Structure 1
Amino acid sequence: MNRKHIYNPGSNETLSERRIFGGNPHGILNFTQAKYQWALKLWDMMEANTWFPKEVDTTKDVVDYNRNLTDPEKRMYDLVWSQLISMDSFQTNNLADNINPYITAPEINAILVRQAYEEANHSKSYAVMVEAICDNTDLIYEMEKHDEILRRKNAYISSVYEELAGEVTDEKILLAMFANQILEGLYFYAGFTAIYALARAGKMLGSAQMIRFIQRDEITHLLLFQNMINSTRKERPDLFTQALEERVIEMFKAAGALEIEWGKYITQNQIMGFTDEIIEEYIHYLIDDRLNAVGFKKIYNAHHPIKWVDDFSKFNDQKTNFFEGNVTNYSKGSLSFDDF
C-alpha cells in the first residue's frame, strides 16, 4: 500500500467509492461532503471539548504531594506520569507517521490531525503537572532509563507499532487500528484509576481533574478507532478472517497482561480501593468491552469491579452513543463506560 497523494486532481472517486484506506482521494477536505457521518459528529465533540492545562488548579496538589501522600502513593504518582508521558509521546508521532498517511477518507484525516494535537496537549499538561508538583522533573521524563518494568512496557508497545509499519499492507493497517484501539482503550487505564484512587481519598484533586480532561479526550480517540474498525468491517469483510480474529485476541491478551503487571507494580497492593484482584478484574472487563465494541466476543466475561471510577471520570450526565449514530449533547461531553 502506498501513501496517499497530498493532491490528486486526476481522481474521479465518488463519495460512495470513498474508503477508510485503499481509496483514491482527490486531496481536498470538504466538510460539506463526508461519507462517514460519525466522523463529523466526532469532530464536533472534540472541538466542543477543547481545553487547556492552565484551566486546572494544582496549588493544593503541591501541598498534598509534599505533606499528605504516603511514600507508596508518591512513588505511584511519579510512575503514573512517567508512563502516561510515554503513551502520548508515542501516539503523537504514530498518528502522523504510521496511520494518517494511509487513511484515504478526508474527514477521518482531519480527525486524526485533531487527535495528534490533543495528544500533544496532554504532553503539555504532564509538563505542567510534573514541573509544579514532583520532586525531580528530569527523573520523571527519564524514568524508563531506570525502571525495568516501565521500559519493558514501552518497548513492547513501540515494537508493535514498528512491526506494523515498514511495508504497509491492508492487513497491517487494519491491525494498526486494533493496536490503536488497545492503546487508547487499555494502556492508560491503570494510571487513570490510580490518580482517581488518590482523589477518592481526598488527595491530588487537581491531578484528578487533569486526568478527567485527558480521559475525555481518550474516549473520543477510542471511539474514532472503533468506528474505523467497524466501517472497515463493512467495506472489507474479506479481511476479517479467523486468523485475523485470533491475532487480535492475542494482541488484547498480551496488552492486558502488560497492563495488569503495570497496575500491580505501581500500586504494590498498598492503594486503598485498587487492589491486585481489582486491577486484574478491571483490565479484563475493559478488554471484554473493547472487543465487544468491534464485533468480537468477550473472552473473560468480567464484571466492572470499581464503578466509582466512572463517577470520578464524569463531567456531567450527558451521553453519547456513536454506534447508534446519536449524539445527545456534546458540550464538554461526559464520560461513561456505558456509552460504548
Structure 2
Amino acid sequence: MPRALLEKAKTLEPLNPNKSTALFGGKSSGILNWNDIAYPHWHKMYKRLVGNYWQADEVNMSSDVKQFSSLTTEEREAYLKIIGLLSTLDAPQTRTALLISLYATDPAVQSIMAVIAQQEAVHNESYSYVLSSVVSLDEQNKAFQLGRTDAVLLKRNANLVEQYNNFVDNPTMENILKTLVYTSLLEGMFFYSGFAFFYNLARQNKMVGTSTMISYINRDELEHGRFIAELFRATLAENPEYNTEDFTDWVYTHFQESVVLEIEWSNYVLEDVEGIDLDEMAGYIKYRANKMLRMMGLSEVYPEHVDNPMKWIRAYVDNFDGTKTDFFEQKSRQYTKTSDLNGFDDL
C-alpha cells in the first residue's frame, strides 16, 4: 500500500469547489454548504448528534449520594474501576476526533467530528461529576489514575494506544482507516461491559442517577459509532487500493483480539458483582463486535452471537433497532433538565 503522509486540510482555499472531491486528501474550498455536500444524508446525522445535547450537572444525583455507601464492597470497587476505564476511553476521543477532522478535506466531516469531540468532552466531564457526587477527592483521583496504573486496564488499552499514537506520528491514509477501526471498536464495543454494570445496578434500583447519565453517554456513542462506521466505509470506497485481503484480515484480527481483551477485563472487574452472568457478558461483547463489523460492511466473526443475549439492557438505552425509550415505564425519551422537574424520577 502507498504510505505517503497526508497533509492537513487547508482552512480556506477559495479556488477549490465547496463540495469536496474526497473525504481525505481531496480538494474543497473549506466553505460548508449543507445543501451541497458529497454525502447528503450526513446532514441528518449532524442534526441527530446536535439534537442529543445534554449537560452532566443537570442530571439529578441526590439519590446516588445517599446510596453509594450502601453498595456492597464489590459494587463500590467495580463502580470506581469502571469510571476509571471510561475516562481513559473518552478523554483521548476528544483529541482523536479533532485530529481526524484536521486531515478531512470534506467540511461536513469536519463539522460532524467537531460535534463528536464536544460530546466526548462532556462525557469525560460527567465521570468527574458523578465521582465528585459520591466519593472524596482522593478517591476520585485514584479512579482517574487507573488508566495509568492498573495492569489489566493497561493491557486492555495497549492496542488502542498504539494505533492512536501511530496516527499522530504517521498520518497516512492507512493509519486513518486503522484509527477509524479502533474508534468503531471504542464507540461500539469497548464501553459496553461498563455500561452494563451501571444498568445492572439500576435494575436493582441502585445508583439510578449514574445509570441515567450513562444512558445519555450510551445514546451519543451509538450515534458516533454509526457515523464512524459510515466514514470508514466511504473512505475505503474512495480509496479501493486499501480494500485488500491483507487489510480486511487486519480488521478481523484486531476485532478478535479486542474481544478477548474486553472479556478478560469484564471478568476482572465484574467477577464478584451480583446480577451479572460473565458468560452472558462475553456473549454480549461478541454480539456488539458482530454488530459493528456489519455496520462497517464486513462479516460477522461470531455466528453463534448474532442476537443480544442481555435483552434486559434494551430497557435502559436507546438503540438503532427500536424506539428510543428510557427505563421508567418505557416512556419516549426526552432530555429534560432536572431544574425543570423535581428530579429525574418524574420523567
| Interval containing the TM-score (normalised by the shorter chain) | 0.7 to 0.9
Aligned residue in 1 for 2:111: 110
State whether structure 2 residue 283 is matched by structure 1 residue 281.
Answer: yes
Aligned residue in 2 for 1:260: 263
Aligned residue in 2 for 1:308: 312
Change (3 A) 1:331 1:41: farther
CA contact (8 A) 1:78 1:134 kept: no
Aligned residue in 1 for 2:74: 72
The AA in structure 2 aligned to 1:106 is P
Of the candidates 47, 50, 54, which is equivalent to residue 50 of structure 2? Answer: 47
Aligned residue in 1 for 2:209: 206
The AA in structure 1 aligned to 2:38 is K
State whether structure 2 residue 166 is matched by structure 1 residue 163.
Answer: yes
Aligned residue in 2 for 1:338: none
Partners in 2 of 1:174 and 1:156 — Cα distance?
Answer: 15
CA contact (8 A) 2:49 2:220 kept: yes
Change (3 A) 1:156 1:120: same
Q: What's the C-alpha RMSD, in Å, of the aligned pairs?
A: 2.1
Of the candidates 5, 13, 18, which is equivalent to residue 8 of structure 1? Answer: 13
Aligned residue in 1 for 2:193: 190
The AA in structure 1 aligned to 2:283 is E
Change (3 A) 1:257 1:81: same
Tell me the alpha carbon deviations over residues 272-310 of structure 1, each in whole angstroms, 9 at most, x when there is no partner: 1x2221121111111111111111111111131101111
Change (3 A) 1:314 1:14: closer
Aligned residue in 2 for 1:326: none
Partners in 2 of 1:52 and 1:140 — Cα distance?
Answer: 22
Q: List gaps (5 residues or longer) in structure 1.
A: 320-328, 333-340
The AA in structure 1 aligned to 2:111 is A
Q: List gaps (5 residues or longer) in structure 2.
A: 1-5, 325-331, 336-347
**Residue 186 (structure 1) shift:** 1.0
Partners in 1 of 2:301 and 2:49 — Cα distance?
Answer: 31
Partners in 2 of 1:54 and 1:261 — Cα distance?
Answer: 33
TM-score (norm 2): 0.86
Q: Could you say what secondary structure the match of 2:206 adopts? A: coil
Q: Could you say what secondary structure the match of 1:153 adopts? A: helix
Tell me the alpha carbon deviations over residues 130-174 of structure 1, each in whole angstroms, 9 at most, x when there is no partner: 101124111111123442112222333211211233222222211
Number of residue pairs matched by the alignment: 318
State whether structure 2 residue 97 is matched by structure 1 residue 92.
Answer: no
Q: How does 1:51-62 map to 2 (within 5 A)?
A: 51-62=54-65
Q: Could you say what secondary structure the match of 1:165 adopts? A: helix
Partners in 2 of 1:7 and 1:259 — Cα distance?
Answer: 42
Aligned residue in 1 for 2:327: none
Tell me the alpha carbon deviations over residues 38-71 of structure 1, each in whole angstroms, 9 at most, x when there is no partner: 321011111111111122111111121112x111
Of the candidates 227, 240, 244, which is equivalent to residue 241 of structure 1? Answer: 244
The AA in structure 2 aligned to 1:3 is K
Change (3 A) 1:170 1:145: closer
Q: Could you say what secondary structure the match of 2:169 adopts? A: coil
Tell me the alpha carbon deviations over residues 77-131 of structure 1, each in whole angstroms, 9 at most, x when there is no partner: 011111111111111111223x111111101100000110001111111111010
The AA in structure 1 aligned to 2:127 is Y
Partners in 2 of 1:14 and 1:58 — Cα distance?
Answer: 46
**Residue 14 (structure 1) shift:** 6.3
Change (3 A) 1:156 1:243: closer
CA contact (8 A) 2:97 2:113 kept: yes
- Taking every aligned residue pair, what percent have the same amino acid on both sides? 27
Deviating runs (4+, > 4 A) in structure 1? 329-332
CA contact (8 A) 2:188 2:221 kept: yes
CA contact (8 A) 1:44 1:330 kept: no
Partners in 1 of 2:184 and 2:148 — Cα distance?
Answer: 27
Tell me the alpha carbon deviations over residues 209-249 of structure 1, each in whole angstroms, 9 at most, x when there is no partner: 00011011111110111111222243233321111100000
**Residue 269 (structure 1) shift:** 4.4
Tell me the alpha carbon deviations over residues 303-339 of structure 1, each in whole angstroms, 9 at most, x when there is no partner: 31101111111399646xxxxxxxxx9976xxxxxxx
CA contact (8 A) 2:64 2:207 kept: yes
Aligned residue in 2 for 1:134: 135
Aligned residue in 2 for 1:325: none
In terms of mean alpha carbon deviation, does 81-90 or 171-180 score higher?
A: 171-180
Partners in 2 of 1:205 and 1:57 — Cα distance?
Answer: 9
Q: Could you say what secondary structure the match of 1:265 adopts? A: helix
Q: Could you say what secondary structure the match of 1:9 adopts? A: coil
